[in-house]
A and B are shown apart, each in its own frame.
Chain A
């Protein structure tokens, strides 16, 4: 893949994941604020998330979007502030993305099962 195409597609990925995150963060915050209004306990929250395919899908999407978005932002910071770019940098960021996705999805599964 040409450098131009790769950079353009990464840019699309960052913008698309940002659009997903904008919705997810809003829903997440609104739900949290709503859920704790009446002094909801952790057990009660787990009671609502366990077995809920809807919440599983929502938070899985949230985690994937964050795992795509954050490393791409870091990539720009590393290139501009520290001059680190290229294959090694991209490999490190892919590893970071994998860790974010794995840790996030683990948490999503933990409140589902």
Chain B
């Protein structure tokens, strides 16, 4: 193990450039540790996001040596055996400055995909009883742990080609709600996720599934949406 790391960090906005830093190397060092060291010891103007540092909040995602990752859960040893790191903001999102991207397009698409629970029960109704082993509950369970970090969105080749594509996270969210038996927006949600910018644009490259730090499979969720949308279309409901 070399004593230092050769780190290139993206500086500036969309028209910025990589700047090189030499960073002391330590055992069990994470990429977030590296970024933090640069900000504290070399350049306090370096902009980046983080909060929990333990893989709960999903705010520290960046492009590390070409792939989107949570920097807090990425050990330098795993991604930079040769001691070289190239750290850039997440792809497929506008860069605000340095390592900070504007997440608005990402979350706007959650709204467009109707990624919000819409209940029909009132306070007069009893609690909904959803059997944990029912097929729909299990389908919802498979995708419910998404924390919206944007890693899948940055990894998606279709988003890169087709900027209006809703993307894996929004579609995964929609699929969990399609399977929520308490939700009342079924058909409107299927309409929202169908079409050229929706689930049908997915090429099943599975980059989202490969990159998801929570090991979810947005690809499976999108396939489920395709089936649900097709069934509704064939029934003439869309």
Judge whether A58 is part of the interface by a CB distance below 8 angstroms.
Answer: no
Judge whether B51 is part of the interface by a CB distance below 8 angstroms.
Answer: no
Judge whether A8 is part of the interface by a CB distance below 8 angstroms.
Answer: yes
Q: Which of B17-25, B82-90, B192-200 contacts A (4 or more CB under 8 A)?
A: B192-200
Point out the residue from B158, B190, B226 that lies within 8 Å of A11, measured CB to CB.
B226
B161/A80 in contact, CB under 8 A:
yes
Judge whether B230 is part of the interface by a CB distance below 8 angstroms.
Answer: yes
> In the complex, which residues 1-32 of chain A have their Cβ closer than 8 Å to any Cβ of chain B?
2-5, 7-9, 11-12, 15
A5/B196 in contact, CB under 8 A:
no
> In the complex, which residues 182-238 of chain B have their Cβ closer than 8 Å to any Cβ of chain A?
190-191, 194-196, 198, 200-201, 226, 229-230, 232-234, 236, 238
B238/A2 in contact, CB under 8 A:
yes
Interface size counted on chain A using CB atoms at 8 A = 15
Judge whether B162 is part of the interface by a CB distance below 8 angstroms.
Answer: yes
Chain B min CB distance to A6 (Å): 8
Point out the residue from A2, A11, A81, A85 that lies within 8 Å of B200, measured CB to CB.
A11
Judge whether A102 is part of the interface by a CB distance below 8 angstroms.
Answer: no
> A75's closest neighbor in chain B, by CB?
B196
Interface size counted on chain B using CB atoms at 8 A = 19
> In the complex, which residues 37-94 of chain B have their Cβ closer than 8 Å to any Cβ of chain A?
none
* Overall SS of chain B's interface: helix
A2 to B233, CA, bound (A): 10
* Overall SS of chain A's interface: helix
B162, B190, B194, B201 pick with most chain A CB within 10 angstroms: B194
B-side contacts of A12, CB under 8 Å? 230, 233-234
B196/A85 in contact, CB under 8 A:
yes
B162/A4 in contact, CB under 8 A:
no
Chain B min CB distance to A77 (Å): 10
B196/A11 in contact, CB under 8 A:
no
B233/A8 in contact, CB under 8 A:
yes
B-side contacts of A11, CB under 8 Å? 200, 226, 229-230
Say whether, besides A2-B238, A12-B233, A7 and B161 are in contact (CB < 8 Å): no
Say whether, besides A11-B200, A79-B196, A85-B196, A4 and B229 are in contact (CB < 8 Å): yes
Say whether, besides A11-B200, A11-B226, A80-B162, A4 and B234 are in contact (CB < 8 Å): no
A-side contacts of B158, CB under 8 Å? 80
A8/B229 in contact, CB under 8 A:
yes
> B238's closest neighbor in chain A, by CB?
A5
> B236's closest neighbor in chain A, by CB?
A5
B-side contacts of A76, CB under 8 Å? 201
Residue contacts A-B, CB under 8 angstroms, 20 given: A2-B191, A4-B190, A4-B194, A4-B195, A4-B198, A4-B229, A5-B194, A5-B236, A7-B198, A8-B195, A8-B230, A8-B232, A9-B233, A11-B200, A15-B230, A80-B158, A80-B162, A80-B201, A81-B161, A85-B196
Add 7 more A-B contacts to A7-B195, A8-B195, A80-B161 (CB < 8 A). Answer: A2-B238, A3-B194, A4-B198, A5-B194, A7-B198, A9-B230, A81-B161
